[in-house]
């Protein structure tokens, strides 16, 4: 009798667990990085999320946060199930929020990358990095979100670390904002130089064409791998299959392909391609190189401590290179 009762309780617990899991997956929260005003993003994303909800048979809700950290923390605490985010943010998601890269965006023309840039007002006397560094003590600079690839990591390495400069020290004033806010600040002459990327500039040419005309690029980075899509590793296999079936067919096959391509184009994307965490390796190397250069230029650190930290970075670089 006791064993029959215990067996019945175990079966009931399993069924209850399955029911709760199924219930939990009736809604999927899609994290969207804040590259511009949330109201603009909602209008852009609504058609895509509506199509995704229909295909998955569950409600797909947009999760907007004011910065990258909000999206990352959302995934860490299971308030975000999958997300579009830059490579730098994806690294943090993978390392700290149980995230996993499963797809990569492409541009409408099929290219698999984009560019970071520094922008100035078109009337600015600054023509290049040499001009900027020469006048930095009089300039107002707006950096990107610390978890942004093109707004922070890439210019942080190629513009500042490689030239032995610290933006916090060389400019008269340093602030930070998203791509849209940076571009508008430069256009309105409230800052002199700012980080952005070519996608942000193309988007501004649509939303605020007169402001876009006020901008000029003085530096462009090497090609950056296109943004990944990241999901929580602990999503069920069934949910992951539904997501991938939708993502990799959207704008490629099925009903309303042309409409889907139009929706992707409005998001400045082409069809998605498969990816994984290895996409992040070049950016991890970049971040480690930048950290190494900062250490090497630090004249105040104890020599042994510096050598130990540099050796640790070199070990990590060697591991990534395997």
Q: Strands, E, within 198-322: which ranges?
A: 215-220, 224-225, 228-232, 270-274
Residues 93 and 119 in one domain: no
pLDDT at residue 14, as a whole number: 44
Q: Last residue of a domain, which of 181, 199, 224? A: 224
The 10 Å Cβ neighbour count of residue 172 is: 12
Query: pLDDT tens across 239-259, in order?
Result: 999 999 999 999 999 888 999
The answer, yes or no, to whether residue 21 has pLDDT greater than 50, is no
Same domain assignment for residues 149 and 86 = no
Beta-bridged to residue 270, according to DSSP, are: 106
Do 79 and 124 share a structural domain? no
Q: Is 119 in the same domain as 257?
A: no
What is the count of structural domains for the chain?
Answer: 3
Q: Are residues 255 and 302 part of one domain?
A: no
Dist CA 185 CA 201 (whole Å): 13
The residues, ordered by sequence, that sit 6+ positions from 262 with a Cβ below 8 Å of its Cβ are none
- The beta-carbon contacts of 294-299 under 8 Å, at least 24 apart in sequence, are 294/161, 297/164
Domain membership flag for residue 55? yes
The verdict on residue 11 lying in a domain is no
- 192 in any annotated domain: yes
- CATH value at residue 240: 3.40.190.10
Same domain, yes or no, for 41 and 96? yes
Look at residue 6 and tell me if it is in a domain. Answer: no
For helices 303-320 and 281-297, the axis angle rounded to 10 degrees is 160
More confident position, 162 or 116: 116
**Is the same domain home to 169 and 205?**
yes
Mean pLDDT of the chain: 90
The pLDDT of residue 322: 67
Residue 283, phi then psi, degrees to nearest 5: -75, -35
What is the domain range of residue 172?
113-224
Tell me if 292 is assigned to some domain: yes
- Which of these ranges, 10-14, 115-119, 122-126, has the smallest mean pLDDT? 10-14
Percent of the chain predicted with pLDDT > 70? 91
pLDDT of residue 219: 98
Domain match, 231 and 289 both:
no
Last residue within a domain, chosen from 207, 224, 241: 224
Q: For the residues 67-73, what does the mean pLDDT come to?
A: 93
Does residue 37 share a domain with residue 65? yes
Calculate mean pLDDT across residues 153-182: 93
Q: What is the pLDDT of residues 191-203, one digit of tens each?
A: 999 999 999 999 9
């Amino acid at each position: 009798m006791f064993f029959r009762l215990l067996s019945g309780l175990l079966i009931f617990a399993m069924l209850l667990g399955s029911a709760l899991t199924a219930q939990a997956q009736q809604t999927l929260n899609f994290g969207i990085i804040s590259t511009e005003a949330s109201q603009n993003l909602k209008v852009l994303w609504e058609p895509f999320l509506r199509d995704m909800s229909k295909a998955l048979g569950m409600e797909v809700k947009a999760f907007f946060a004011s910065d990258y950290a909000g999206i990352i923390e959302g995934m860490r605490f299971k308030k975000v199930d999958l997300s579009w985010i830059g490579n730098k943010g994806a690294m943090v998601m993978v390392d700290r929020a149980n995230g996993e890269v499963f797809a990569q965006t492409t541009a409408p023309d099929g290219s698999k990358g984009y560019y970071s840039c520094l922008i100035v007002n078109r009337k600015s006397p600054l023509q290049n990095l040499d001009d900027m560094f020469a006048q930095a003590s009089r300039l107002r600079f707006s950096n990107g979100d610390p978890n942004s690839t093109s707004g922070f990591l890439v210019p942080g390495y190629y513009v500042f670390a490689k030239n032995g400069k610290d933006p916090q020290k060389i400019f008269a004033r340093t602030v930070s904002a998203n791509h849209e806010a940076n571009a508008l600040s430069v256009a309105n002459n409230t800052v002199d130089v700012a980080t952005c990327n070519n996608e942000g500039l193309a988007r501004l040419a649509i939303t605020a064409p007169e402001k876009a005309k006020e901008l000029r690029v003085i530096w462009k980075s090497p090609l950056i791998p296109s943004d990944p899509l990241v999901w929580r590793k602990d999503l069920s296999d069934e949910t992951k299959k539904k997501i991938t079936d939708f993502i990799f067919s959207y704008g490629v096959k099925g009903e309303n392909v042309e409409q889907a391509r139009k929706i992707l184009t409005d998001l400045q994307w082409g069809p998605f391609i498969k990816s994984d965490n290895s996409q992040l390796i070049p950016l991890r190397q970049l971040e480690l190189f930048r950290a190494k250069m900062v250490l090497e230029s630090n004249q105040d650190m104890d020599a042994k401590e510096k050598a130990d930290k540099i050796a640790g970075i070199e070990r990590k670089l060697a591991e990534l290179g395997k």
